[in-house]
Chains A and B, each alone.
Chain A
């Protein structure tokens, strides 16, 4: 395995370039499917770090332009907040 393949693309959930490329090679190029099979973009940063990279990997491997690849839905809350803040029991630090 080359060193490049071990590159981590999603830091939150420890997903490597190799795992992403392996799925694309199996013909799975839909970002929603890749996201859920590998749990990319579902970590505490909610994909802010990794999704742009995943899109460029898909684009490179499939020859699509990055604009054609729809960004997965983002989910609220935008920034992680402790549950206690939302129920008014603790103050946000």
Chain B
């Protein structure tokens, strides 16, 4: 293990591996430290969805840029991350929701996202087994999509290493060394690494690392909430390719996994704050109640897996991204509140440029995601969260 680097990235999920890759690409001597294996935090546990359908300008713009990055990511990383533009379909059950959909669509269109209102019949053409009779209209964007989280993390890490980054798995950060309000390095269970810059990309665990640097845990109030998914046996391709979600049905959603065609089923039942990852029977019953209402034929599909991970939630469901002004050389990109996988390419690029050049060409609104907004009591409008 090296004992010195220019930048140390803490956390080997989609965020950390993307930051490490983009730093290495800019010629930075970077080390990434992950306490488990790459992706073992929340990244592998996610529902794979990538959407631009948010309800505020900052997230829509950032995600629009991200989708452009996702489209070229396999080629850039020379590894297939299996990105597919299979769309996101939201479904309305009341007239009020249809009106809200129309407002959302106006906003999406304003920033170049081609969302449109569709009829239940059109929705059924896109998702053949849909229980279309239950819905009044759909909010449909065919340019949203999904990708394989494991392959994404693996591809970022592989390319980062090719460009000279070092990645230490099964290595835990146990301390952050700060002297005179300046970052000096980190302590791990395998030794000390010196560096002038440390990036906290530990998402659900980020407050623990902030505390290690001498900051108050509540300074950036990220809380871990247990969210779960259930997966069915593989179904024939092309049945439920988009992510399908009637928000009024407890934020429940279904989509076919882009790899094997099994159906991922999620719902808004959450537990926490907690670091417990045990799946619950209550969730299994709740999620299937909704999933079989959205797609009645799912009654006959065998359930083969269930697992849990964390939504690292902030009070406004927007992440904290940027520089921490109290300690020179300390940066954070965490608190993704259930939508961090989709943002990884753009956030990694923006963070790397911020660290190296002090600014970035990525359309990321630093004001909006400012890590200091919580202590100022300045919350953003709540980012649209699913599940």
Contacts and interface: CB of A to CB of B under 8 A. Distances in A.
A84 B298 CA distance: 8
Contacts of B299: 82-84, 87, 89-90
A5 B284 CA distance: 40
B150 A37 contact: yes
Nearest to B170: A30
B267 interface: no
A80 B306 contact: no
Given A76-B306, A82-B300, A86-B303, A37 B292 contact: no
Size band of the A side of the interface?
Answer: 20 to 34
B362 interface: no
Contacts of A13: 260
A87 B307 CA distance: 18
Contacts of B40: 32
Interface in B270-325: 279, 284-285, 288-289, 291-292, 298-307
A43 B259 CA distance: 12
A81 B301 CA distance: 8
A7 to B, nearest CB: 21
B37 A32 contact: yes
A44 B305 CA distance: 9
Contact of A84 (B169, B292, B305, B306): B292
A13 B304 CA distance: 14
Contacts of A32: 37, 40
B279 A76 contact: yes
Interface of A is mostly: loop
Contacts of A16: none
Interface in A59-93: 75-77, 80-84, 86-87, 89-90
A83 B301 contact: yes
B25 interface: no
Given A30-B37, A75-B307, A89-B292, A37 B301 contact: no
Contacts of A80: 233, 302-304
B304 A46 contact: yes
B83 interface: no
Nearest to A81: B303
A39 B288 contact: no
Nearest to B302: A80
A83 B305 contact: no
What 6 pairs between A and B have smallest CB-CB spacing? A84-B299, A80-B302, A36-B150, A75-B305, A83-B288, A32-B37
16 contacts: A30-B169, A33-B154, A36-B150, A37-B154, A42-B260, A43-B304, A44-B304, A75-B307, A76-B306, A77-B284, A81-B302, A81-B303, A82-B302, A83-B303, A84-B292, A84-B300
Interface of B: 37-40, 44, 150-151, 154, 169, 232-233, 259-260, 279, 284-285, 288-289, 291-292, 298-307
